[in-house]
Structure 1
Amino acid sequence: MSATRTVTADPPAQSDGILARLGRSMAAHTRLVIGVWLIALVALGAAAPSVFTSLAGAGWQANGSESVQVRELAEQHFGGNSSAAVQVVVHSDSVPITDPSMQQTLAAATEIFSADPRFGEVVAPQTGMTISPDGHTGIMIAGANASTDEMVSAVDELGKELTALSTDTIEVYPTGASALWSDFNKANHEAMIKAEMMSWPVTLAIMVLAFGSLVAAGLPLLLTLAGLVASAGGLVILNEITPISVWAMNFAMMFALALGIDYALFLVARFREALRTDPDPRAAVAQTMDTAGKAVVLSGLTVLVSLSAVLIVPAPAVRTMAVGIMLAVIFVLAATLTLLPAVLGRIGAKVNGGSLPYAKRQQHRSPMFAAWASLLHKHPWPFGIGAVIVLIALVVPVFGLKVAMPSIAVVPEDAPVRQGYELVQQQFGDGAPGMLQIVTSADDAADTSRLAMSVDGVAMITPTQQAADGSDLVMLQAVPTVDPSDPAMETILADLRSQLPESALVGGAPAENLDLQQALDDYLPFVVVVILTLGFLLLLIALQAPLIALIGTLVSLLSTGAAFGIAKLIFQDGHGAGLLGFDPQGFLNGWGPVFFFAMIFAIAMDYTVFLLSSAKEHYERTGDPETAHIDGLAHSGRVIAAAAAVMVAVFFTFALADPLPPKEMGIILGVAVLLDAVLVRLVLLPVLLRLSGRAAWWAPAWLRRILPNISFSHG
């Protein structure tokens, strides 16, 4: 009986790891996997088109700060006359504000606001406060009767209707913080979409050159598209639970494209190599997932861990930007581990379809990168010292880096909010667009007004405004002598808060920006420590070797610092500003250090994982550190170079955007990837791997006992 039992199934499942078994399963149930993904994409895709109109437009605040308390008190007790209120600037060169035509325009604006429940009390221009000295400009204030996000949406919807009240002789501009974020988000959204559209053909061209096959090049793009659609729909659904910043989708789009291609590139390259040794597509998928799949999982976890550190910052917009990218990474990772193996198992050798002539000569072990690794192995010190000198020289400028929240200059010159802002400054003074609001008790009103007026940098204090609900609170407004983004504003705010009576709270839009900047500065060290610690622990668990895990973490920190050094030279000092088409603000936008640090470190660790996982695989097979060093780079070098080229192309397309924030983001991330791939992953890290030798892979016995057993070799 036993002689009739023959084995017809795949090799024994017990020799496979979890990811290998997952790969076999996906390849064996292709129709089911693709069907599930199609259903999911149709469901999420139905919500995706509304992503940019559904998501929140505000959230740039430090929760729990004094300025947020003032805004909440203004909304509760003063008819919504808070930092979120909408100001409408009405101006005419030919007629005064008292002219019937001007009054008719103001009445029309009042009617628009009165018909919308999101607006509270509407205050007409008042002599001595919101009517200019020459009488030709007035500011109407429409109180905020909704959340900051809803107020930005209100301006999105009513902005054109308000500006349409303009005539040949009368100009109408909605302005204020809500209008600023409305125009700011629109400009950045348009720039991001334009950059994304430009990056796709460039990315496809790089993929074709890297793979030499149209089919293989198209797979990463299809995978990324699935991740983008799923992310967009997922964010819309998540926004129904908690407000998600519209910036979350901007960053998610960029990261989904870059990381999706990275992960697919790594798996497809390994799959093509596996087919050379085993023509069975399911076996090739299993081998791919058991080796490259582990690196992709580790990379994805590293990105998620790095971004999760940003969640400790008490700023809704910053937190939800991190959430958006994390959601995109989760969908891209899920597609990479399920959909891609299913498709690869289905098409098998057809992955090489549409091959270019040179593609048939391609090997997974690149002769060019093998020769480069051998050169580094023979002469590690000159290359290592050279890379360190360059990186340290680029890190040095970081020590002079200044950060601040963006000024009005980041909004296009033709945006209504900027035109209204500049008109207010011309007619009322530099500080008029950024009045500071002071809420205090009625008993302290007189002292508060007197002391506020004595503070250097305060031009005027408005008369006290009694609370509309009869509570024992009053509001005063302090008009600064400087522009809201002037560095002196920080001193003015600090002096007001220290010199006014204890009951007085100081807020307003400039104060909210300064409080947010302070929160970002305060939390930056914690974010950095958390990211470095968790990144090291992940590498330690994966590589089972403390020295190489520490080296991998520290070199990622070095490349991150160098990227910020270049950011300081470009965006603060203005080097190359003319070529890039922007006017430097004299500082880096405030969210940059916290948010870009997490993003850059995540990308840097991405390449660290690709290189070191390949090196560890060869060390496990041979026990020879020289083979691990040379073959690790020979097998991963082409993939790292191609992935970096894609990321640089994606990020640098954002450098062509007109608004400064996406330009800043694109250049900083693009430079970071370029530095990391060229100087760190392809020079410094291989050199350190060579110099550390066998010690790189050593771990004490007690550590090996407590760590999970993870192997990057197959079989």
Structure 2
Amino acid sequence: MASFLYRLGRLAFRRRGWFALIWVAVLAAVAIGGLNAQGTSDGDLSMPGIESQKAYDLIQQRFPGAAADGASAQVVFVAPHGQKVTAAANRAAVEDTVHALAGGPQVVGVADPFASQAVSKDGSTAYAVVTYKVADSDVTDASRQALDKAADQGRHDGLTVEMGGSATDGGDGPSGVSEVIGIAVAAVVLLVTFGSLTAAGMPLLTAIIGAAASLFAILLLGHPLGLTSDTLTLGMMLGLAVGIDYALFVISRYREERARGRAPQEAAGMAVGTAGSAVVFAGLTVVIALAGLSVVGIPTLTKMGLAAAGAVAVAVLVALTVVPMLLGFWPNAVLARKVRKAAKQQDHTPDNRRTSTLMPGRRPRSRPKAGPDATGPQREEAKAAGRDNLGTRWARFVLRRPVTVLVASVVGLGALALPVSSLHLGMPGDEALSKSTTQRRAYDDLAQGFGPGFNGPLTIVVDAKKAPDAKTAVNQISQRIGDSKGIVSVSPPSFDKTSDTAIFSATPSTSPTDAKTKTLVKTIRDHRPAIESGTSAAFYVTGTTALNIDVAAKVQSALVPYLAVVVGLAFVLLLVVFRSVLVPIKAALGFVLSVLAAIGLVVLVFQQGHAASLFGVQQTGPIMSLMPIFMVGIVFGLAMDYEVFLLSRMREAYAHGEDARHAVVSGFRHSARVVVAAALIMIAVFSGFIEEKGSMIKMIGFGLAAAVLLDAFVVRMAIVPAVLALIGEKAWWLPKWLDRFLPHVDIEGEALTPHASGDQDHDGAPAPDGQVRARV
């Protein structure tokens, strides 16, 4: 793979004009298609294998049109304090508002609250349901403006009017502010890291190119594949984060190769062949982990995972082709000022215009020469190689106190992971919104007037086809469920055309996200034999509340198996790459610690409310059901990024003859600064999404930022060198029989040794006798 990527890097550098035309054509095609497509949709909310989905399917079968996906809005009216909405003046104001609502665009009808008995017992509150003939995503701005105008009319007449429901949602797609914040912070980090505006700007430019391609592709495929707006935001988030990081790694290696005296084209090929190999491996782990979410069996999660995996794949492709292409246009612009001046002088010498400065047939030295015959870039690189940086100083600190650093790190991460034991999964609704929104105020008004369970009624579907008397069977089941502890009321049953299937609602006494509601649903289902006894009918519990409970249970049961699969995958991949038994074990355990600690922090903030206001969390509640398992997949890939880029340089130093402890220091000398910069960039990008409106994106942004912070700076920068210091030479031990069995994967560029020594043909390919067996 390294040889192939080496050729690809040289080709993109040499044929930069053609590569630019290809990418412009691709971007133009997806942009035109995406901008003219219908965009994202509400997604496929089906959840195979759960009772609530089975009941929903039965409703669609027996009640055609009852489960239609038309948008709706609840307009809530609250009378002034001490008055009732049934008073003459207030009733007239409600009826006038209802009449105005019925005249709005796309409206099918409005249920009058006085005719439909949608008035609270104390008469203080009433609500009207507005039904639209289009789906949620197709409600136009004109329809929402008409809704607001009608509500303002009711407010002008003295009523408190608030609105909730799917038709009032304006969408939670990316606002653009979070992306700008992340890119701005990333630009500062890159500028400090590289000391060059061009070197700092190139990773940003390539990341934006990749993210734009992914964005337009998701828009293009959004409607036909049922991709949601959260998928769009997630693709942008990952595309920017990994796109910047992958370009950063390739450009950093290019600068190293140029500082060693290589010609620009050769340096580009070496950078793509070495750092690019690690990028391919790291990107592949992210793609596999995200695509693996399909095994959970939740279509929404599968689509989000595949879309995010596609965004990562695009970022890898951009790093391998667009980065060397841009380097071809500006070969010296990304270099540090001192190296750039030396490189310009070197480029004017005849011997350095097309080939490497190394003589053909001669092996490169482990360190660049610094004598009087060394070239300018080599002298600069030699000075840097012999100079300690923060990475080497930190590595030596850890090597002097490995036990202290290891114990402190593990105990700290373990303490942060403790809240995971109280993890409560669910699907927060309008109650999680800010009180400044009309949706949240409508939710609170309905809970105040009709009880906390009104916002999440249970839908009971009774299949009485086998019952001798269907209506009697349905009434018996309805009465028994109504007598259950925790149910405050049941609605009259509604029968289908054949009168053998019925639907009715059961209103709990507790809110949809209350743990008691979850217990109530479980109790009703557990008592199914007693409730159905003597009726020859069967009932199923569904509705939004029951669906959320079932999804949470399904995800929670899949979380541990999926984590085990991901950890097992990490072990196998690292075993093949680093040809070591202990290194993969250490990496897998570190990944488990970092992801559990990150989820623990999410629980602390979003569920328990610690420092919630600091992160803009208006209301605590259950953690989004899909968030933890999705975060596991993403964090796995990001953790492998840092593991590969850090450990590969240590492995390279060890293979070149350094002992295990010195190899750790060498690895930190070359990689620590880049890994720290990459981590800070990812933290900045992910943190920017905490300001998004969508609860799912807000939680994922916070969780990923916390996970990267803990994994990069605690696990990879502290635990990894501490463990390597304690186990010494055993870190790179591999049984001979296993070495013969495992395939050889070159991500360190060992196959490029012939290129480094100048032993290559005129096409840049290695000579037939120049192949080198991968290191053990």
Instruction: Report the TM-score range of the alignment, normalised by the length of the smaller protein.
Output: 0.7 to 0.9
For residue 521 of structure 1, give the secondary structure of its aligned residue in structure 2. Answer: helix
Provide the C-alpha distance between the structure 2 equivalents of 1:576 and 1:212, rounded to a whole number of angstroms. 36
For residue 54 of structure 1, give the secondary structure of its aligned residue in structure 2. Answer: coil
User: Which amino acid in structure 2 is aligned with residue 211 of structure 1?
Assistant: F
Give the corresponding residue for 2:94: 102
1:62 aligns with 2:91: no
In the TM superposition, residue 272 of structure 1 has moved relative to its aligned partner by 0.4
Residues 465, 474 of structure 1: 8 Å contact kept: yes
Residues 66, 505 of structure 1: 8 Å contact kept: yes
1:400 aligns with 2:422: yes
In the TM superposition, residue 646 of structure 1 has moved relative to its aligned partner by 1.1
Deviations 1:180-206 (A, max 9, x none): 7x35x43x644xx32212222211111
Provide the C-alpha distance between the structure 2 equivalents of 1:175 and 1:583, rounded to a whole number of angstroms. 17
Pick which of 320-329 and 202-211 moved more: 320-329
Residues 447, 454 of structure 2: 8 Å contact kept: yes
1:677 aligns with 2:712: yes
Give the corresponding residue for 1:175: 164
TM-score by length of 2: 0.81
Give runs of aligned pairs for residues 115-134 of structure 1, distance below 5 A.
115=106, 123-125=111-113, 129-133=117-121
Residues 97, 103 of structure 1: 8 Å contact kept: no
1:291 aligns with 2:319: no
For residue 48 of structure 2, give the secondary structure of its aligned residue in structure 1. Answer: coil
Provide the C-alpha distance between the structure 2 equivalents of 1:518 and 1:672, rounded to a whole number of angstroms. 24
Give the corresponding residue for 1:308: 291
Provide the C-alpha distance between the structure 2 equivalents of 1:374 and 1:597, rounded to a whole number of angstroms. 32
Give runs of aligned pairs for residues 455-466 of structure 1, distance below 5 A.
455-466=484-495
User: Which amino acid in structure 2 is aligned with residue 491 of structure 1?
Assistant: T
Residues 88, 139 of structure 1: 8 Å contact kept: yes
Give the corresponding residue for 1:71: 56
Residues 39, 221 of structure 2: 8 Å contact kept: no
Residues 380, 690 of structure 1: 8 Å contact kept: yes
Provide the C-alpha distance between the structure 2 equivalents of 1:97 and 1:268, rounded to a whole number of angstroms. 73
Residues 433, 618 of structure 2: 8 Å contact kept: no
Give the corresponding residue for 1:472: 500
For residue 29 of structure 2, give the secondary structure of its aligned residue in structure 1. Answer: helix
Give the corresponding residue for 1:537: 572
Deviations 1:62-109 (A, max 9, x none): 334222333344455447555966243252637549845533433443
User: Which amino acid in structure 2 is aligned with residue 20 of structure 1?
Assistant: Y
Residues 79, 160 of structure 2: 8 Å contact kept: no
In the TM superposition, residue 641 of structure 1 has moved relative to its aligned partner by 0.8
Residues 39, 220 of structure 2: 8 Å contact kept: no
Give the corresponding residue for 2:544: 509
Change (3 A) 1:159 1:503: farther
Give the corresponding residue for 1:194: 177
Provide the C-alpha distance between the structure 2 equivalents of 1:357 and 1:272, rounded to a whole number of angstroms. 10
In the TM superposition, residue 241 of structure 1 has moved relative to its aligned partner by 3.5
TM-score by length of 1: 0.88
Residues 281, 346 of structure 1: 8 Å contact kept: no
Provide the C-alpha distance between the structure 1 equivalents of 2:139 and 2:57, rounded to a whole number of angstroms. 18
Deviations 1:112-169 (A, max 9, x none): 48x56xx6x86544657423335565444466877xxx33543877333323212012
1:335 aligns with 2:314: no
Q: Which protein has the larger Cα radius of gyration, Structure 1 or Structure 2? A: 2
Give runs of aligned pairs for residues 660-671 of structure 1, distance below 5 A.
661-671=696-706
Change (3 A) 1:618 1:157: farther
Pick which of 94-103 and 40-49 moved more: 94-103
1:228 aligns with 2:211: yes
Deviations 1:503-530 (A, max 9, x none): 1111111111111111111211221112
Of the three residues 486, 505, 508, the one matched with 2:514 is 486
In the TM superposition, residue 377 of structure 1 has moved relative to its aligned partner by 3.2
Provide the C-alpha distance between the structure 1 equivalents of 2:120 and 2:338, rounded to a whole number of angstroms. 71
Provide the C-alpha distance between the structure 2 equivalents of 1:554 and 1:470, rounded to a whole number of angstroms. 59
Give runs of aligned pairs for residues 293-692 of structure 1, distance below 5 A.
293-352=276-335, 365=385, 367-368=388-389, 369-440=391-462, 441=464, 442-443=470-471, 444-467=473-496, 469-470=497-498, 472-497=500-525, 498-499=527-528, 500-501=531-532, 503-622=538-657, 624-656=659-691, 661-692=696-727
Give the corresponding residue for 1:7: none
Instruction: List 4+ stretches of structure 1 deviating above 6 A.
Output: 143-146, 353-364
Residues 162, 173 of structure 1: 8 Å contact kept: no
For residue 485 of structure 1, give the secondary structure of its aligned residue in structure 2. Answer: coil
In the TM superposition, residue 269 of structure 1 has moved relative to its aligned partner by 0.7
Give runs of aligned pairs for residues 37-52 of structure 1, distance below 5 A.
37-49=23-35
Residues 212, 355 of structure 1: 8 Å contact kept: no
1:700 aligns with 2:735: yes
Provide the C-alpha distance between the structure 1 equivalents of 2:246 and 2:57, rounded to a whole number of angstroms. 45
Residues 287, 310 of structure 2: 8 Å contact kept: no
User: Which amino acid in structure 2 is aligned with residue 305 of structure 1?
Assistant: I
Provide the C-alpha distance between the structure 1 equivalents of 2:99 and 2:455, rounded to a whole number of angstroms. 23
Change (3 A) 1:570 1:356: farther
Provide the C-alpha distance between the structure 1 equivalents of 2:520 and 2:87, rounded to a whole number of angstroms. 32
Residues 54, 236 of structure 1: 8 Å contact kept: yes
Matched residue count = 686
Deviations 1:635-690 (A, max 9, x none): 11010111111112222233455665444333322222122222111111122223
Provide the C-alpha distance between the structure 2 equivalents of 1:102 and 1:78, rounded to a whole number of angstroms. 32
Residues 257, 267 of structure 2: 8 Å contact kept: yes
Residues 403, 589 of structure 1: 8 Å contact kept: yes
Residues 97, 138 of structure 1: 8 Å contact kept: no
Provide the C-alpha distance between the structure 2 equivalents of 1:429 and 1:173, rounded to a whole number of angstroms. 17
Pick which of 337-346 and 154-163 moved more: 154-163
Provide the C-alpha distance between the structure 1 equivalents of 2:393 and 2:336, rounded to a whole number of angstroms. 29
RMSD: 3.1
Give runs of aligned pairs for residues 125-274 of structure 1, distance below 5 A.
125=113, 129-133=117-121, 137-141=125-129, 150-154=135-139, 158-166=143-151, 167=153, 168-169=156-157, 173-176=162-165, 178-179=166-167, 182=169, 185-186=171-172, 189-190=174-175, 193-274=176-257
Change (3 A) 1:400 1:433: closer
In the TM superposition, residue 57 of structure 1 has moved relative to its aligned partner by 2.8
Pick which of 313-322 and 475-484 moved more: 313-322
In the TM superposition, residue 263 of structure 1 has moved relative to its aligned partner by 0.8
Pick which of 702-711 and 272-281 moved more: 702-711
Pick which of 390-399 and 81-90 moved more: 81-90
Provide the C-alpha distance between the structure 1 equivalents of 2:113 and 2:2, rounded to a whole number of angstroms. 75
In the TM superposition, residue 382 of structure 1 has moved relative to its aligned partner by 2.6
Give the corresponding residue for 2:761: none
Give the corresponding residue for 1:27: 13
User: Which amino acid in structure 2 is aligned with residue 670 of structure 1?
Assistant: A
Provide the C-alpha distance between the structure 1 equivalents of 2:434 and 2:619, rounded to a whole number of angstroms. 14
Residues 86, 174 of structure 1: 8 Å contact kept: no
Give the corresponding residue for 2:353: none
Provide the C-alpha distance between the structure 2 equivalents of 1:227 and 1:471, rounded to a whole number of angstroms. 56
Provide the C-alpha distance between the structure 1 equivalents of 2:717 and 2:412, rounded to a whole number of angstroms. 14
Change (3 A) 1:123 1:580: closer
In the TM superposition, residue 596 of structure 1 has moved relative to its aligned partner by 1.6
For residue 47 of structure 2, give the secondary structure of its aligned residue in structure 1. Answer: coil
Pick which of 631-640 and 277-286 moved more: 277-286
Provide the C-alpha distance between the structure 2 equivalents of 1:391 and 1:434, rounded to a whole number of angstroms. 37
Pick which of 124-133 and 447-456 moved more: 124-133
Provide the C-alpha distance between the structure 1 equivalents of 2:384 and 2:24, rounded to a whole number of angstroms. 32
Deviations 1:235-276 (A, max 9, x none): 122224411121111111111111111111111111001012
Provide the C-alpha distance between the structure 2 equivalents of 1:57 and 1:88, rounded to a whole number of angstroms. 19
For residue 460 of structure 1, give the secondary structure of its aligned residue in structure 2. Answer: strand
